[in-house]
């Protein structure tokens, strides 16, 4: 099937028609699709933007309304006077007021409490109904932080918001901020313990002391119901979309319209659009909604912190979304309609392309068959000429003319081939004879070259041997010179040794004379030791006569005797050593005399060796000079043979090139002959 498509012009032309017609249609369809897909998204994003703006406006209006209510209530003189009076009573009794609701029981305090209660209750009945979503109204001591009054009278009445159990609550934060800034303030939703539900607090100063500090604060607790109802509106979000409100802790400040479970301060939404909105950015994107479905999302900040009247230091993110399927459903229907229309157009184009391509491919197929027969050598066919004025007609006429010309040229080529065959045969025979002659000449030159090469090697070998002998003669001459110098040094050394031996003999004679003097000294020491010993004996006898007085002298006499014995022993040892030295001196004297005789004999032999080496040196020098002449002659012969060898190599190379050229010429002649035969066979294939 693939081969048929590749060979069929009809199929290719139909495909070309379809491509030319459908590709622009596909491009237009794609552009239309992209335009159609972007337009609904743009419209839906505008709707979501409008929904966000509506929710934002309603939330800000509601919060501004609550702040207006609390500021209005705080500005009422009766309420402000009673509140300041209550604060004064509470400040005067810090031990009984402020520790708990049970302690608030003084008569004066209770009276003021009754004055405030009707005003606040009336306000709560008129303004703080169910539609307002207000939970409770609080009067707080601006200096101590004690809750002086609550409409609901819950567990927080009388507690201290600075160090009591609710010091971490939103009510404590809003009262601290009002006391510090002396302006109205708003804090975000958080679970408030006494009420047991999430509350937002707005507060305003209700009275100031003479120093300008806030003495009384009026606060309002707001339930999340109204905020939830605002965010549950479905305007602009279709059947699948919804709006949601997220705080800076990424917890929802709204509930889902599709879930019965409350998400308020329970479900977290830390998606990218929430982060961007909390950073103050406004925009749109495609992403998951609370259900995890792919949706179109528009996000913006609520701008609560920019409302000066609220005094808020936080903000919320408002997001509106709608499922992408719902938003793009009309566009997808339009796309399917475009696809169906494109298919119908493709069928129509295919039918038109078939008939148009058939009118072009039929005559071309016929000419293709005729060309196939011509390629097989049949020039006897009759070419059909189409009676058309278009390019197909011109092609058939040109093809007919080409076949006629081919017949005429084939006849002329056949005649030329016959002439070429006869000429190439003669050239081939001549080149064969020339190649044989060149081969014989080349063989003779090769043999001569081989002989010259052998002669060259012989001359080189003789030259190398002569050089080797010459080098060795030089080395022998140098060795003889060195031996001559060594012999002269030996004679000098022998003379020096002879002088040293004579000096040693004189020294030994003097040593023998001194040994005689030492023997006389030893005899004197020995006599002295004998006398000391005799003196010690006499001293011992005298000490014995002296009795106890001579005992110490007897000890000294004994020591002298001991020293005399030791001196005698030492003298004997020295005499023994001296005798050994005298024996050694005698041996040295004899050795010295023998050494003098040996030195004399060695000196004479060294002189005789020096004379012999002089004669050898003269002979080696003469031989070296003769070998130098032989080496020079050998080198000249080697250079001459090298030149002859180089010339023979050049002649041999030239003859080889001649032989190769002759062989190439012979090959070319044979190829020419074969070419002529092939041309003849080729032309014979055509029938003319």
Domains of the chain in start order, with CATH, are: 50-324 (3.30.450.20), 395-683 (1.10.287.950)
For 253-322, give the DSSP string: SS--TT-SS--TTTSB---HHHHHHHTT--EEEEEE-TTS-EEEEEEEE--GGG-TTTTBS---EEEEEE
DSSP three-state, residue 220? strand
Find out whether 297 and 320 touch, Cβ atoms under 8 Å: yes
Residue 646: predicted pLDDT: 74
Question: What pLDDT shows up at residue 264?
Answer: 94
- Any idea which residue has 């979501």 for tokens? 48
State residue 242's pLDDT score.
Answer: 92
Q: How far apart are CA 136 and CA 583, in angstroms?
A: 142
pLDDT at 37: 52
pLDDT of res. 394: 74
**pLDDT at residue number 244:** 94
**How many other β-carbons are positioned within 10 Å of the β-carbon of residue 319?**
28
Long-range contacts made by residues 17-26, C-beta under 8 angstroms, separation at least 24?
17/349, 17/350, 17/352, 17/353, 17/356, 17/357, 18/346, 18/349, 18/350, 18/353, 21/345, 21/346, 21/349, 22/342, 22/345, 22/346, 22/349, 25/342, 25/345, 26/342
Block means of pLDDT (10 residues each) for the chain, 688 residues, are 54 69 65 58 90 95 94 85 76 44 57 81 76 88 89 88 93 95 95 91 91 91 93 87 94 91 92 95 92 91 94 95 81 68 76 71 72 71 70 73 74 70 67 65 66 67 66 69 72 72 70 70 72 74 72 71 74 74 70 70 68 67 65 66 68 69 70 71 64
Distance CA 30, CA 338 (A): 10
**Of 73, 197, 188, 94, nearest to 138 (Cα)?**
73
First to last CA, the chain: 38
**133 phi-psi bin (left φ>0, alpha ψ -120 to 50, beta other):** left
SS3 (DSSP) at 433: helix
Question: What is the rounded CA–CA span in Å between residue 584 and residue 186?
Answer: 130
How far apart are the C-alpha atoms of 677 and 250, rounded to whole Å? 97
Q: Residue written as tokens 């309609």? A: 337
Q: Do the beta carbons of residue 558 and residue 536 sit within 8 Å? A: yes
149 and 116 Cβ atoms separated by less than 8 Å: yes
* Cα separation, 540 vs 561, whole angstroms: 10
Return all residues near 668 (Cβ < 8 A) that are at least 6 apart.
Answer: 431
Round to whole Å and give the CA distance between 557 and 553: 6
CA–CA separation, 51 and 87 (whole Å): 46
Of residues 202, 199, 201, 178, the one with CA closest to residue 190:
199
116-125's contacts with Cβ under 8 Å and 24+ in sequence apart are 116/79, 116/82, 116/83, 116/86, 116/149, 117/149, 117/151, 119/76, 119/78, 119/79, 119/82, 120/73, 120/79, 120/149, 120/151, 121/151, 123/69, 123/73, 124/151
Q: How far apart are CA 79 and CA 683, in angstroms?
A: 130
What are the φ and ψ backbone dihedral angles of 198, each rounded to 5 degrees? -65, 135
3-state secondary structure of 98: coil
pLDDT computed for residue 433 by the predictor: 67
> From the DSSP assignment, how many helices (H) and strands (E) are in the chain?
10, 9
- Pair 392, 364: CB distance under 8 Å: yes
Distance CA 403, CA 176 (A): 111
Residues in CB range of 246: below 8 A, 6 or more apart: 252, 253, 269, 274, 277, 278, 316, 317, 319
Smallest Cα–Cα separation from 208: which of 223, 196, 218? 218
For residue 243, what are its two tokens?
Answer: 């709006």
Q: Please report the pLDDT score of residue 481 as a whole number.
A: 73
Residue showing tokens 């707080």:
140
Q: How far is CA 131 from the centre of its chain?
A: 65
254 close to 244: Cβ distance less than 8 angstroms? yes
Q: What confidence score (pLDDT) does residue 61 get?
A: 95
């Amino acid at each position: 099937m693939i081969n048929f498509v590749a060979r069929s012009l009809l199929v290719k032309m139909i495909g070309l028609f379809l491509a030319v017609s459908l590709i622009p249609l596909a491009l237009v369809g794609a552009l239309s699709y992209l335009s159609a897909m972007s337009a609904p998204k743009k419209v839906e994003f505008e709707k979501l933007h409008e929904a966000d703006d509506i929710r934002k406006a309603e939330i800000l209006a509601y919060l501004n309304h609550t702040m207006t209510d609390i500021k209005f209530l705080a500005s009422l003189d009766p309420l402000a006077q009673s509140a300041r009076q209550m604060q004064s009573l509470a400040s005067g009794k810090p031990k009984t007021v402020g520790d708990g609701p049970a302690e608030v029981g003084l008569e004066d305090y209770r009276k003021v409490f009754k004055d405030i209660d009707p005003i606040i209750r009336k306000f709560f009945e008129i303004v703080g109904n169910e539609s307002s979503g207000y939970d409770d109204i609080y009067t707080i001591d601006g200096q101590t932080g004690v809750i002086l009054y609550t409409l609901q009278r819950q567990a927080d009445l009388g507690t201290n918001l600075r160090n009591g159990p609710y010091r971490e609550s939103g009510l404590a934060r809003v009262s601290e901020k009002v006391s510090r800034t002396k302006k109205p303030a708003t804090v975000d939703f958080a679970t408030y313990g006494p009420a047991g539900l999430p509350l937002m607090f707005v507060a305003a100063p209700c009275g100031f002391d003479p120093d300008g500090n806030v003495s009384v604060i009026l606060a309002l607790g707001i339930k999340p119901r109204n905020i939830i109802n605002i965010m549950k509106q479905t305007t602009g979000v279709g059947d699948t979309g919804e709006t949601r409100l997220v705080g800076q802790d990424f917890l929802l400040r709204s509930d889902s319209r599709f879930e019965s479970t409350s998400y308020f301060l329970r479900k977290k939404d830390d998606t990218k659009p929430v982060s961007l909105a909390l950073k103050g950015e406004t925009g749109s994107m495609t992403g998951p909604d609370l259900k995890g479905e792919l949706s179109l999302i528009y996000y913006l900040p609520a701008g609560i912190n920019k409302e000066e009247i609220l005094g808020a230091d936080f903000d919320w993110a408002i997001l509106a979304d709608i499922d992408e399927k719902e938003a793009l459903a009309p566009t997808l229907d339009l796309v399917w309609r475009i696809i169906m229309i494109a298919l119908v157009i493709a069928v129509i184009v295919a039918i038109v392309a078939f008939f148009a391509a058939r009118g072009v491919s039929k005559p071309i197929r016929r000419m293709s068959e005729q060309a196939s027969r011509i390629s097989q050598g049949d020039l006897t066919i009759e070419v059909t000429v189409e009676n058309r004025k278009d390019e197909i007609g011109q092609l058939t006429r040109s093809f007919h003319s080409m076949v006629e010309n081919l017949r005429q040229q084939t006849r002329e080529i056949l005649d030329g081939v016959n002439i070429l065959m006869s000429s190439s045969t003669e050239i081939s025979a001549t080149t064969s004879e020339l190649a044989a002659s060149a081969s014989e000449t080349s063989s003779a030159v090769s043999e001569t070259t081989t002989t010259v090469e052998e002669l060259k090697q012989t001359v080189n070998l003789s030259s190398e041997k002569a050089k080797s002998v010459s080098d060795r003669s030089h080395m022998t001459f140098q060795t003889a010179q060195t031996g001559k110098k060594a012999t002269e040094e030996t004679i000098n050394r022998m003379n020096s040794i002879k002088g040293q031996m004579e000096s040693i003999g004189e020294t030994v004679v003097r040593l023998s004379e001194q040994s005689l003097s030492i023997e006389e000294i030893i005899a004197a020491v020995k006599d002295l030791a004998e006398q000391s010993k005799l003196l010690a004996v006499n001293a011992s006898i005298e000490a014995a006569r002296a009795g106890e007085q001579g005992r110490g002298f007897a000890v000294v006499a004994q020591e002298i005797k001991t020293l005399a014995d030791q001196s005698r022993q030492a003298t004997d040892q020295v005499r023994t050593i001296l005798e050994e030295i005298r024996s050694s001196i005698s041996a040295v004297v004899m050795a010295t005399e023998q050494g003098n005789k040996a030195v004399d004999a060695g000196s004479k032999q060294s002189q005789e060796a020096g004379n012999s080496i002089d004669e050898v040196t003269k002979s080696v020098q003469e031989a070296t000079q003769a070998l130098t002449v032989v080496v020079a002659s050998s080198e000249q012969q080697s250079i001459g043979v090298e030149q002859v060898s180089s010339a023979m190599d050049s002649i041999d190379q030239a003859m080889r090139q001649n032989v190769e050229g002759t062989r190439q010429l012979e090959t070319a002649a044979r190829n020419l002959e074969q070419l002529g035969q092939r041309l003849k066979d080729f032309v014979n294939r055509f029938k003319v």
